[in-house]
Amino acid sequence: MGISSNSSLVANSSLMKLTDWNPLFDRLSPAFEPFKPLTEAISSVKNWPTCLDLESLKHQTDNDLVTHSGMPVRFVPQENAASNDFAQPYETRIYLTGMVATRSENWHDFFNALVWMTFPNAKAALNYIHYQALVHAFQRKTEGRGTLRDAATLFDESGVVVLSSQSHLIELLRQHEWKDVFWRERETVLKSMRFIVFGHALYEKALNPYLGMTGKGVFFQVKALFFRRPLTEQLHAIDQWLADFLLQKLSVTADLSPIPLLGYPGWFDGNGFSEFYDNPQYFRSRSKK
């Protein structure tokens, strides 16, 4: 089954405590669809997953989790940070050792691990960007993150992939014509456009969706038949497209377009009315330069 526009799934209106483990979290929002290949295994984990659980889950995917330096990715407890292996900064440590420090009982880090499992090439690309920037800063004895690292971090936390077989839908999103695309083109959107969440901070927010929830998007035009391919095949393709984009085209945060996620039909239980899209605080017009 490919990526669907299942509008019968809507955001849960009741607040979930972020301290609670919920093995059925994927039922709270359509945003979690990229994790479907993993959710059956996750549903059997009755308590907060440990790093051992994450390692076991990792081996149930057909993805090869390897950094650009060739190191196998491993999820290790954050509390080991006192050891010598953790002397480097977070991204440097991942690049040099493959170890991803992961806090226990923490949705943010849990989703980070799932994104590694789902989009390993894109995550490795982001890590490589950070590592190269850190090396250059050290060599030049400069401080500050730089525009590329800022953009990489923004996508890592809040990235969303927009796929469409209709170029005019992409252009409407680029121009912030929100009501046109989400309401007037609603049926076309359901057939011809998909949002694929990447950022692990966005996944955490999707546990308790709220107006204002906005992703930072990149666009890929696909053929209509792409949506009929099995989900795993679609995700593999998206992963490679993303890795290429991040390494070859990303340079500043302006390369990413704001995407009000709850505007997508069926992603919020209040967006079935045209008035929903008249909220200028959420559906903001494009700024004029």
Give pLDDT tens digits for 101-142: 999 999 999 999 999 999 999 999 999 999 999 888 777 767
Per-residue pLDDT band for 288 (boundaries 50, 70, 90) equals low
pTM, two decimal places: 0.92
pLDDT for res 60: 87
- Residue 66 DSSP one-character state: B
* Whole-angstrom distance, CA of residue 277 vs CA of residue 234: 30
pLDDT, tens digit, 9 for 90 and up, residues 151-190? 999 999 999 999 999 999 999 999 999 999 999 999 999 9
DSSP strand pairing (99-102 vs 74-77):
parallel
Other C-beta atoms within 10 Å of 264: how many? 24
* Whole-angstrom distance, CA of residue 199 vs CA of residue 135: 25
The residues, any chain, with a CB within 8 Å of residue 229's CB and separated by 6 or more, are 2, 237
Lowest mean pLDDT among 1-5, 154-158, 212-216, 219-223: 1-5
* Whole-angstrom distance, CA of residue 237 vs CA of residue 172: 24
pLDDT for res 136: 83
User: At how many degrees (to 10) do helices 107-118 and 120-140 cross?
Assistant: 110
Per-residue b or e along 191-229, where b marks 16 or more CB atoms closer than 10 Å to that residue's CB: ebbbbbbbbbbbbbbbbbbeeebbbbbbbbebeeebbeb
Task: Write the CA distances from 129 to 42, 69, 134, 153, integer angstroms.
Answer: 30, 12, 9, 10
Question: What percentage of the chain exceeds 70 in pLDDT?
Answer: 90
Q: Flag whether pLDDT at 11 surpasses 60.
A: no
* Whole-angstrom distance, CA of residue 283 vs CA of residue 276: 9
